[in-house]
Structure 1
Amino acid sequence: MRSNRPLRVAIYDPSGRGGVCHYTHQLAQNLALMGSDVTVVTTENYELKHLPRNFNIVFLFKKSRIKRFALSWIAPVRWQGSDHKESAFQNGTHAGEKIPGLALLKNLRLRIIWLKAAFLFLWKRPHLIHFQWLVDRDQEYFFINLLKLLRFKIVYTVHDLLPEQCDAHPDHDALEKIYRKVDALIVHAENNKREFVSTFEVDPEKIYVIPHGSNDLFYTDKRMSKEAAKEELGFFRGKKVILFFGLIKRYKGLEHLVEAFQEVKERLDNVALLIVGKIYDGDPEGFKYYSDLIGQLRGREDILCVEDYIPLEKIALYFYASDVVVLPYISNYTSGVLLSAYAAGRPVVVTDTGGLKEGVEVGKSGFVVPPKDTKVLAQAIVETIKNRNQNDEMGRYAKSLAENNYSWSSVASKTIALYRHLPMKSAMADAASQLTVK
């Protein structure tokens, strides 16, 4: 695919909201700005549908009326009037799998959606299809295999090597089949590539390193000051704010930050901890643990917990109110939180896990510490926020990294270079083009 002609790119992202959705939107926008004809295939609940864009959207994933009917009629019989019906409905596909027959209906529905997607791609004739997220790792191989039989080229951005960063995860074999089948894989750091090769039997030559872009999508009001953001939250006046942001899961190590915060308080006055994020409910033990932890912290004068999913328009406020953003992860693959901090002009403290270390220039944009070492973590936080001038200078440097090293124009340019490095477009698309000309 070495021609300089505009590329037709289909991006498959059924996530609909959250970090991957934000990534897809910014990538699609910048690919389009560089002349590509981009179509994003996503869900009707796509949370960014209200934003202006210069790419096309197809809402292929829609609410299942069959599941809604089944959950409203079958569930009450199964649970005999218990209060589980509502929570099961809200939990989506996982709830349906607990009801006999709904798992089969779910798989059937997915295959119908994928057949529709295949016909859509045959009609659109993209030069390649870029996957960003998978709905069902066990079943998705059917779809990818179908697209390969139709001779489409497939690129897959691997945002999570394995769910929950667990090498023995039951999805390992299903993911390895998918990773082998696609034409190219994108990871965000060199260490991610090394980890990939050590975890899966995949050709290293098909793995490309392209950094995660800066999440400047969140910051429409670039004039908001740190003081104004703290004032708007009404909790942090005159305090130095340590921010933890994102879905709360075990591997993110929130408890270690809470412990380190106690030591920070012993060394600095007027500090506060801001915890923003919903607790992941797909892990019952983890959900109970962090619910109990948040319950213990709630009500303290030096800690504010915002236990919810934060919509796009509200994200900037929390980053702008912070003096440092901390990622105390126990294990990790990559994180958009780091790039969100940089886009806001905030320094970071991260753990030496996954690809985080590669994104930090120590002493300039932040610090890197060992996982679970609360004393070193506390020391790095203190070092980052103890001096206002130094903290501001680190923030400005982080902002410059966001605007240069991690700009979306740079990410899109590297992605297009990868696209063009792939072999010529599919014979199926060529044949369709010839039929169109005739």
Structure 2
Amino acid sequence: MVDTTLPQNSVTLIGSLPPIKGISPYCYELMMALSKYIYVEFIGFEKMYPDFLYPGGKSKEEGIMPDFSKINNVSIRNFLVYYNPLTWIWAGLSIKNKVVHVQWWSHVLAPIYFVILSICKIRRKKIIITVHNVTPHEKNGFNQFLNRSILFFGDHFIVHSLKNVKQLSETYYVPKEKTSLVPIGSSISYNTQIVSQKEAREKLKLPLEKKIILFFGHIREYKGLDILLEAFATVTNEMNDVLLLIAGTPWEKWEKYEEIIQKYNLNENIKLFLQFIPSDDVKYFYHASDVVVLPYKDFTSQSAVGSVTLSFGKPLIVSNVGGLSDFVKDKNFAVEPNNSNLLAAKIIAVLADDSLIDKLSRDSRDLSEEYSWDRISEATVEQYRHALNGSY
């Protein structure tokens, strides 16, 4: 049992909550898990950035959202607005707790965070920063500068992989003793309703008899969809009854992927949902699939898609980059990145062997327990206690 005997027994979280897209599910589950042990003040966004900056044109999700009024041990204030500096100043001045835990993931937010954290420093708050992307996905000097300007305020840091610990030290000269590794929790908010594979496939108008591979999430260059398409061409040469399900918003031009599809004549074996998938519909894509693949080319952290996969108990094949291998117990299925032939061999091995599918499903369920949000919250509260006791 976590020790909750903290001075004030509370924390202020800064991040975003649904219906804002992006990191909101993570923040929501962290807030809910922490609220079992301590009182949480959550400061979030009413309007985080202009819609035109978000692929698809909308930064907020439509559909069923959590009823925040029924959550115990939590105070939620979603009032930050990107174009109103007075809200940034008010956040810094009105924070009630000694420990401020900031979620840092988007460089667009740097001016907002700079103002809030400057005021927190003046007020002698202890600042813990969870760094979700130690090195930006789009690497350039300006993004590095923005990272450094925010990390300057941290008294302690939380990251999601051992590689992140090393990068934080080597890139930003953060002493390793000021960094704690706390994994991403196994996301349970999407998996609250039992749906059979048949129901899911009928809902998505997918064939009932085929083996289905799922690629889920925003489509960005570093995620390696092109590598998966090359591998899938080999898979289709070996197996007739396979389908690749691609679900997510392209954050880049789709043409390069379409060229690969046409090159190998894969149209009949691919089903596309090239749009944002509402939270209420996520379950259908996972329940419809037989295996989930994360073929990332270059990555340093863990993946929200991986944590969601564990919660659904689905077999997972990942590239051995960043912390992705943490999501598979059998390291044979953490493959060398940028190797379409090896990836194809692993996919074929899984889809051709129902007993292996069952084994990898059990592995995912076991890891889902290991990365439960209860355990994540215990590790996080431990960091708050250190901060309050003056350990850093």
TM bucket by the smaller chain?
Answer: 0.7 to 0.9
Instruction: Point out the more displaced range, 325-334 or 228-237.
Output: 228-237
Which residue, out of 30, 50, 57, partners 1:27?
A: 30
Question: What are the superposed Cα offsets for residues 332-358 of structure 1, whole Å, 9 maximum, x if unpaired?
Answer: 132111111111010111111111123
CA contact (8 A) 2:91 2:116 kept: no
**Does residue 401 in structure 1 map to residue 367 in structure 2?**
yes
Give the C-alpha shift of residue 8 in structure 1.
1.5
Which residue, out of 299, 302, 311, partners 1:334?
A: 302
Give the C-alpha shift of residue 235 in structure 1.
1.3
Give the C-alpha shift of residue 372 in structure 1.
1.1
Partner SS for 1:38: strand
Give the C-alpha shift of residue 236 in structure 1.
2.7
Alpha-carbon distance in structure 1 between the residues aligned to 2:228 and 2:257 = 16
| 1:2-13 → structure 2 map (5 Å cutoff) | 3-4=5-6, 7-13=9-15
Q: 1:126 corresponds to which residue?
A: 97
Which residue, out of 282, 292, 302, partners 1:325?
A: 292
Give the C-alpha shift of residue 138 in structure 1.
5.1
In structure 2, relative to structure 1, the CA distance for the partners of 1:289 and 1:15 (3 Å cut) is farther
Alpha-carbon distance in structure 1 between the residues aligned to 2:315 and 2:156 = 33
Instruction: Give the TM-score normalised by the residue count of structure 1.
Output: 0.77
Partner SS for 1:287: coil
| 1:32-431 → structure 2 map (5 Å cutoff) | 32-34=35-37, 36-44=38-46, 48-50=65-67, 53-54=71-72, 55-62=74-81, 106=83, 109=84, 111-121=85-95, 125-133=96-104, 134=106, 135-137=108-110, 140-164=113-137, 166=139, 168-221=140-193, 223-280=194-251, 286-287=252-253, 289=255, 292=258, 300-332=267-299, 333-362=301-330, 367-403=333-369, 405-424=370-389
What letter is aligned with 2:267?
R
What letter is aligned with 1:302?
N
CA contact (8 A) 2:17 2:45 kept: yes
Instruction: Point out the more displaced range, 135-144 or 350-359.
Output: 135-144
CA contact (8 A) 2:16 2:45 kept: yes
Structure 1 unpaired stretches of 5+:
65-105, 281-285, 426-438
Alpha-carbon distance in structure 2 between the residues aligned to 1:303 and 1:28 = 38
Alpha-carbon distance in structure 1 between the residues aligned to 2:368 and 2:217 = 19
Alpha-carbon distance in structure 2 between the residues aligned to 1:228 and 1:385 = 21
In structure 2, relative to structure 1, the CA distance for the partners of 1:44 and 1:385 (3 Å cut) is same
Alpha-carbon distance in structure 1 between the residues aligned to 2:101 and 2:89 = 17
Q: 1:90 corresponds to which residue?
A: none
CA contact (8 A) 1:14 1:61 kept: no
Query: What is the identity percentage for the equivalent residue pairs of Structure 1 and Structure 2?
Result: 29
In structure 2, relative to structure 1, the CA distance for the partners of 1:15 and 1:56 (3 Å cut) is closer
Please provide the CA RMSD for this pair. 2.5
Question: What are the superposed Cα offsets for residues 110-162 of structure 1, whole Å, 9 maximum, x if unpaired?
Answer: x32211112321xxx21311111354325632331221111111111111113
CA contact (8 A) 1:279 1:291 kept: no
CA contact (8 A) 2:157 2:180 kept: yes
Partner SS for 1:216: coil
In structure 2, relative to structure 1, the CA distance for the partners of 1:161 and 1:307 (3 Å cut) is same
Instruction: Give the TM-score normalised by the residue count of structure 2.
Output: 0.86
Give the C-alpha shift of residue 204 in structure 1.
1.4
